[in-house]
Amino acid sequence: MADVVGPLLELGKCIATPTCNYVDHYRKFDGDVNVLRDKLEDLNGRKQDIETRLRVEVHVEEVVKEEVQLWIKRVQTINDEVRVVLEKAQRVKWYRKACLGKHVRRKIDEVEKIHERGSFTGGLVIVRPPGPGSIIPTENLVGESSAKGKIWEYLMGDEVGMIGVCGVGGVGKTTIMKHVNNDLLRKDRFQKVIWVTVSYPLKVFTLQKDIARAMGETLPEDVEEMKRVAALMNIMKGVRFVLILDDVWEEFSLKDVGIPEPTVRNRCKVVITSRSAEVCKHLRCKIVVEVRPLPPKESLDLFLDRVGRDDLDLEVEGLEAILNSIVEKCDGLPLAIVLIAGSMRGIQDIEEWRTMLDDLQQCVENVEGAEDKIFPRLKLSYDRLRKPEIQQCFLYCSLFREDYEFSKKELIEGWIDEGLIDKPGKRQKAYDRGHGFLNRLERNYLLEKTGKLHGADAFKMHDVLREMAINCIGPGLGYMVKAEIPDGLTPKCPLLSTLILSNNPNLSEIPSSFFEEMVGLKVLDLSGTSVEALPDSISNLVNLSALRLRKCKRLKYLLSLAKLRALKKLDLHKAGIEVVPQGLETLVSLEYLDLFCQNLKEIPTGILPSLSSLQYLVVYPSSGITKRINLEEVARLSKLESLECGMEGIQDFNYLVNKSKDFESFTAYELRLTMGIECMVELDSSSSSLSCPVLDKLEELYIRDSPNLSALVRVEGVATPQHVFSNLKRLHIDSCSGMRKLLPPELLQALQNLEEIWVSDCKQMEEIIASSDSDASSDIFTFPKLRKLELEYLPQLKSICSGKGVCDSIEKITERHCRKLQRIPLQLLLLDNGQPAPPPHLKEINIVERESKEWWESLEWDHPNAQNMLQPFLKLHRYDE
């Protein structure tokens, strides 16, 4: 009997357990579904925070860890899987709830495990494995092909290891070597091509760090000098390199720095550029190549190219002779030729050309010495700016280190902080004036565009122009730019108005009495330093109007700011602060507040409404409820023009619009959002008006870090929504991984004022303009004002549009890492002979790909000669992953 009872009891347990689980799944089904929704929301919140952190932490030298990328992909996959389960849960029959409930429980467990794995306590990024070097943007090389040819010959040969390149300032040494640098990267002869700007005075540790960084290594800081030398020597040992040291002013020993001596055996090369042949010889350069001024014909060609050859009427009596005389007095110096030509662009009046010649003649006669002869010619171009405010903006650029790259926003913000741009009421008007000033300086070649910096246009000042500008500033004008603070120093500078200590990671402590006798200080910049606290004497700065603490990651708290009543700008972007500074609510003059701080816990209630002058507000976007901005308080900021923050959805935005008493200033400028919604605007045949009428007036829309956003506008049953975004000029979409199509074709008629489209880092983006239901290949899309189209990091992008785009106003097209894109759909004008003509305003087509030339040649075109016709506008940049 026992033999029978035992197995029966075991069988009963086996049957009872599934039955109990079945009943449990059925009974808890609705609750488990809600738990799954909540768990998924928490997971997506963590994903959104991680993606936002990546936007903060990833720099040019860094790359996202593979485990982080895989985790993000797993989150996207589980989202799809859970969405299917939740859809089934909405329509499941009662008798299948238990079976589905078991699946729900399993998904809850999976979501919890994925959430746990997303802690990443070891960080999110690693240093990017270095490539052989960096392509440097540069202008076309004019003249001096012989000098470049000699340098190239010595680099390719084995006899000469140390090569000097000398010549007076502005003759083109750096330009030649930039071309050499780029040409070397296209060959496989050297493992590393390293470019370092040395300048004066020589800082050995800075030189060592720059070389090590180019090699993908980091030098120890807290060690004695000889150990650093040995460490660098060890890094470079066994690597076949070309080291280009640009703008060397004084002699030094390669051995004392840690640079291996180039020999026939190691087949390495070092190239030195200097204004002094003696410096090259003291550095033991076996060959010194002199870069000579341009001959007359090439000088004239360069001048005519830059002044606008087609804009000059050389039939005007005497004009050609004046041009020849002006070019002759530029002494063949490319920098002088370019600047004077730029200052005369568009001038037709021969009397004004005579005046330029007279001024140039006078400045040449008053100069002695070859080294200084270029400065008066450059200053002549500066003088012809005529407007003192633009001249001051130019001089401001010389306050930063040589070869410093400014982003457009940083530069204009700096001018505003200094009071160099009038700001009549609205900040946007100051920005508009700043853009005008910047364009003027660029057109006159006083600033050069260097490409992109953090997604925006970047500029820098030529080193010779910087010297000229510093001479123009002279002593006693209230500026101080320092890299270090001597211990115990309490400077007596009551008239000092601007103090820039930025981008100095070694600066970690400021003496407590440092600011005691700086009562006149108006602008203080400590951005990019390692300061952990500001001294008590900061409260003495009662006239301070701008305090810049960007990327001060070790700065955890600030002392009370209550005495800084004149403060108009507080920039804490990516600073390490955890709590809002004390006394912030007393700063009633504050116009600019950037609290994009990852560690910031909350903004206490009552602070924002007291900042009644606020025009620009940025708050770190997060799904955490403690960090979410109080929209009711934001709505009371009647002067607000620019807002960047996280929002839970379009309902938040609607609330903000409806509650605001005076939203005109805000709507006229820009909207920056991080949302967790699927669609910003939905239109159907029953829509009599938009739920967000403010969007009709919006000029700039910037949406980023919104992974759930699948469509900007969803249109059903509406032929042409006339109002939506009808005043929109700039559309920026960044890191919206759920978007597959950017614009529905029904919306295009409303976007006639659109000037810029920039789409970046949208992993699933397949089309910019979605295909219509009809034969899309015959569609023609017209953008009468579109000037810039920039598409970056869109790995799934297959089409800009299926039809053709009429964009006669297009100036610039940029493509970065969109390898599946097959076609650029430009509708080209056809001449009488049937050949295509380029868009009349086109300036450049930038292609950045690992195999940029091959990618360009693989594109499909509607006209067989289109590619050849567009070749002169093409700028190819090879990118090595």
Q: Which residue has the higher pLDDT, 636 or 165?
A: 165
Residue 487's pLDDT is 56
What angle is formed at CA 823 by the lines to CA 821 and CA 824, rounded to 5 degrees?
110
pLDDT of 364 over the 80 cut:
no
User: Does residue 238 sit in the same domain as residue 199?
Assistant: yes
Q: Which of 448, 487, 493 is nearest to 475 (CA)?
A: 493
pLDDT of 242 over the 90 cut:
yes
Residue 544 lies in a domain: yes
User: Does residue 468 sit in the same domain as residue 480?
Assistant: no
pLDDT of 695 over the 60 cut:
yes
Q: Which residue has the higher pLDDT, 207 or 201?
A: 207
Residue 688's pLDDT is 42
Contact 449, 459 (CB under 8 A): yes
Mean pLDDT of 823-830: 76
Residue 623's pLDDT is 47
User: Does residue 350 sit in the same domain as residue 254?
Assistant: no
**573: domain range?**
475-629
CA 803/CA 825 separation, integer angstroms:
7
pLDDT of 14 over the 60 cut:
no
Residue 373's pLDDT is 67
pLDDT digit string (tens) for 474-491? 655 556 555 456 555 778
| Count of domains for the chain | 5
Residue 880's pLDDT is 46
Mean pLDDT of 733-751: 84
Mean pLDDT of 90-119: 85
Which string of DSSP letters, residue by residue, matches 229-287?
A: HHHHHHHHTT--EEEEEES--S---HHHHTPPPP-TTTT-EEEEEES-HHHHHHTT-SE
Residue 610 lies in a domain: yes
Residues with Cβ within 8 Å of residue 245, at least 6 apart in sequence: 196, 198, 270, 271, 272, 273
User: Does residue 283 sit in the same domain as residue 304?
Assistant: no
Contact 530, 505 (CB under 8 A): yes
Q: Which residue has the higher pLDDT, 323 or 852?
A: 323
Q: Which residue has the higher pLDDT, 103 or 274?
A: 274
User: Does residue 105 sit in the same domain as residue 177?
Assistant: no
User: Does residue 172 sit in the same domain as residue 267?
Assistant: yes
Termini Cα distance of the chain: 75
Q: Which residue, chain included where needed, has tokens 């097209």? A: 813
Residue 794 lies in a domain: no
Residue 756 lies in a domain: no
Residue 431 lies in a domain: yes
Q: Which of 620, 509, 602 is nearest to 554 (CA)?
A: 509
Q: What confidence category does residue 61 fall into, taking pLDDT thresholds of 50, 70 and 90?
A: low
- Please give the DSSP secondary-structure letter assigned to residue 294: P
pLDDT digit string (tens) for 639-683? 888 888 776 666 676 677 666 654 544 443 456 666 676 666 665
pLDDT digit string (tens) for 246-305? 999 999 999 999 999 999 889 999 999 999 899 999 999 999 999 998 899 999 999 998
Residue 684's pLDDT is 56
Residues with Cβ within 8 Å of residue 743, at least 6 apart in sequence: 712, 713, 751, 768, 769, 770
Residue 538's pLDDT is 93
Run of H or E including 700: strand 700-704
User: Does residue 581 sit in the same domain as residue 484?
Assistant: yes
Q: Is the backbone peptide bond immediately before 201 cis, with ω within 30 degrees of 0? A: yes
> For residue 646, how many other CB atoms are within 10 A of its CB?
23
User: Does residue 257 sit in the same domain as residue 201?
Assistant: yes
User: Does residue 346 sit in the same domain as residue 218?
Assistant: no
Contact 610, 586 (CB under 8 A): yes
Rounded to the nearest integer, the mean pLDDT of the chain is: 82
Say what percent of the chain tops pLDDT 70.
83
Q: Is the pTM of this model over 0.85?
A: no
User: Does residue 320 sit in the same domain as residue 286?
Assistant: no
pLDDT of 30 over the 60 cut:
yes
Residue 680 lies in a domain: no
pLDDT digit string (tens) for 66-83? 888 889 888 988 888 888
Question: Residue 749: what residue type?
Answer: Q
Highest mean pLDDT among 126-135, 316-325, 802-811: 316-325
CA 662/CA 636 separation, integer angstroms:
9
CA 326/CA 612 separation, integer angstroms:
55
Mean pLDDT of 557-561: 89
User: Does residue 483 sit in the same domain as residue 624?
Assistant: yes
Q: Where a domain ends, among 458, 473, 488?
A: 473
Residue 119's pLDDT is 86
